Amino acid sequence: MSGFDPTKHAHRSDPVSSKESAASVNEATVSQLEEMILDIVTTVGPLAPFEVRTHYLTHRENRGWPHVEPHSIHRRISDLKDKGRLAGTGVRVRTPAGKSAERLKVAA
């Protein structure tokens, strides 16, 4: 058993369409997105989540990456942190919205 639970990708208060969308996420897609994120961080170096998203949006066409919502990238980054595959560097940068975000690296 893999432990993959698509129901955790929607909140109880989300509309039905959000819950249906979360249920449509399959383990292969999640795995592909996680590997893509790890590849980006390995290749480019430590990045904040918004920088990973920007790199994805800039390069997805020429790299053949799947089209996903930018929020999905942030969700996968959070999952990778929870799994111990990404770790913080202690370096914080400003997001375009003026908030602070920590750059992440592939965990050793």
What does the pLDDT look like over 56-101, one tens digit per residue?
999 999 998 888 888 889 999 999 999 999 999 999 999 999 999 9
Instruction: Write out the two tokens for 62.
Output: 């020429």
What per-residue confidence (pLDDT) applies to 5?
54
- Please say whether the beta carbons of 49 and 74 come within 8 A: yes
Could you tell me the two tokens for 80? 């990778």
H or E segment and range at residue 79 = helix 70-82
What average pLDDT does range 35-59 have in this prediction?
Answer: 96
68 token code pair: 């996903």
What are the structural domains, with CATH classification, of the chain?
A: 13-106 (1.10.10.10)
The H or E element containing residue 90 is strand 86-94
CA distance 80 to 106: 9
Distance CA 108, CA 105 (A): 9
Average pLDDT rounded to a whole number, residues 8-24: 57
